[in-house]
Amino acid sequence: MVNPKDYQDILTEWLRGTQFEKMQHDGVDSFYVIALSAFGDIYIWGKKSGSSLSIISSYGMIFPTFENEEYIATGEERSLDLFFSVQTTTQIDLIDINEQPLFERTLERLGPLENGEIYGFAPALALGGEPKLENLQKVKATEHLAFLAALGEKRVMADIVALSNQLPHNQ
């Protein structure tokens, strides 16, 4: 978990030029960073939509998962509790070039993270780096995430919840 205020500028950079920036500007929703993974995945909370966005910063990918109706029915506090209670290590681990999980090996090689640190690739994947254990190092989270956001165009991935809701079995 993180203090959302510490990451608001980072979030602004990641959302710049996306429909989510427009949503904030138009007052449709307000987004806040609530958590980071050890590898800098950013978990975002929408005031009106709950756990609606996540960013896989190493790969420059933004994943929307808007479930507004479920969020409204469940309520903010319960939704937040559920978000944290259902996270598993396999969901938040990163996979290396050989399709093997990295966290345990990275922890053993580099040691535990201090508050405000993440494990980051050097060189960054967007600059041609490879997702290998030997390319990871401890970095300051805010600095590294700002660097990754500035590297180029972010890819907004398909909202699988919205797509699923459009299938005939849900109508």
Residue-level pLDDT at 87:
55
Residue-level pLDDT at 112:
97
Q: How far is CA 120 from CA 42, 158, 159, in A?
A: 13, 25, 26
Residue-level pLDDT at 1:
86
Paired residues of 42 in beta bridges: 36, 55
Q: What ranges do the domains of the chain cover?
A: 4-93+141-170
Residue-level pLDDT at 62:
93
Q: Which residues of the chain have pLDDT under 70?
A: 66-92, 158-171
pTM for this prediction: 0.81
Separation between Cα atoms, residue 30 and residue 49, nearest integer Å: 9
